[in-house]
Amino acid sequence: MHPILAHSIIQTAVVTRSRAEGVARVADLFAAVPVDLPDGPEGGKVKGTVFAFRNNSNLEVLDPLEPDHTRHRFLDRHGPGAYMLSCSLQNTDWQAVGDSFRETGVRSVLEGPFGVKHRYRWHLHPKDAGGLLILTSVMQDRDDNADWAGPHWDEDIATNTRFVDEVRGYIARTPDPVAECAPFGRVGFAMVPLEGGGQGWHGPTGSVLELWPSDAWEGDAVTGRRDFAMVLKARDRTGLLRRMAHLGFTFQPGVAGGRLLSSIDPVLGVRFAIDP
């Protein structure tokens, strides 16, 4: 069996009650340019709206779609929030990756070739992937962001990164990080203990996925839902904090490895954790 090794988290996605409202919120927060991605060759239907940042990192805003869609059911159960992450793998043999998933009992809800730069990709079942919908891919070119953020993604970087350089991944406050980290290891995110009681994966490009105990920061009980924060590397930290404060955010300093943690955004349903 070949071990699955994640290379980088390319995209973090939130599901919102209104994609238009969510897109406007991100644009206000980061002064960034959105790109609508069409769903299939027929066009006319938007799959999601993406904001591209440096280091091939993206933030996607999703709407609930039709009532029987998994996004709609997610919103009914949890409200808006962290829904999905997409990653590239260090592995290059996609058939061996598929064999490893089957041998370890990791199910996919959708798989196959995708776009131009993917050799193969899997949408992994949340129950087998730590409770998140994870899209994991063997890429032909990890440095080309076109399949994720549209053909002109590189033209948006200068505008989008006035305040935020990159979106590095997720951290989450959860009941039992040690017990909950094992499923992530099976899909490429092998976590190690972190100072302060967390468990974390830190990728070769700077991406992060971390689980922290329920007392790691102040917030509601996490028995029914993890308390997620999207990790940001700031370019203009002072300007970013001024924008966020203007929009009503409050902050907890020195959290989860010394980060500055925001309150939960009411539209996007996540916090933001700004790296030191």
pLDDT in tens, 46-96: 678 999 999 999 999 998 877 777 888 888 888 899 999 999 999 999 999
pLDDT in tens, 234-255: 999 999 999 999 999 999 999 9
- Shared domain for 196 and 149, answered yes or no, is no
182 Cβ contact partners less than 8 Å away, ≥ 6 residues apart: none
Give the pLDDT confidence score for residue 114 in this predicted structure.
Answer: 79
Quote the CA–CA distance of 276 and 260 in Å, as a whole number.
Answer: 7
Quote the CA–CA distance of 52 and 54 in Å, as a whole number.
Answer: 7
Q: Domain for residue 47, yes or no?
A: yes
For residue 24, pLDDT beyond 80: yes
Give the pLDDT confidence score for residue 213 in this predicted structure.
Answer: 97
**Whether 273 contacts 254, CB under 8 Å:** no
The total domain count for the chain is 2
The residue with tokens 């350089």 is 165
Give the pLDDT confidence score for residue 107 in this predicted structure.
Answer: 94
Residue that is last in its domain, among 154, 183, 217 = 154
- Shared domain for 131 and 172, answered yes or no, is no
pLDDT, averaged across the chain: 92
- Shared domain for 103 and 77, answered yes or no, is yes
Give the pLDDT confidence score for residue 45 in this predicted structure.
Answer: 55
Give the pLDDT confidence score for residue 46 in this predicted structure.
Answer: 63
Give the pLDDT confidence score for residue 1 in this predicted structure.
Answer: 66
Quote the CA–CA distance of 226 and 170 in Å, as a whole number.
Answer: 11
- Shared domain for 134 and 168, answered yes or no, is no
Q: Domain for residue 41, yes or no?
A: yes
For residue 122, pLDDT beyond 90: yes
pLDDT in tens, 209-238: 999 999 999 999 998 789 999 999 999 999
Quote the CA–CA distance of 108 and 134 in Å, as a whole number.
Answer: 9
What CATH number should be reported for the domain holding residue 263? 3.10.180.10
The residue with tokens 């776009």 is 115
- Domain span at residue 244 reads 161-274
- Shared domain for 144 and 175, answered yes or no, is no
The model's confidence at residue 170, banded by pLDDT at 50, 70 and 90, is very high
- Shared domain for 148 and 171, answered yes or no, is no
Q: Domain for residue 127, yes or no?
A: yes
For residue 43, pLDDT beyond 60: no
- Shared domain for 113 and 237, answered yes or no, is no
Give the pLDDT confidence score for residue 66 in this predicted structure.
Answer: 73
pLDDT in tens, 128-169: 999 889 999 999 888 888 888 888 888 999 999 999 999 999
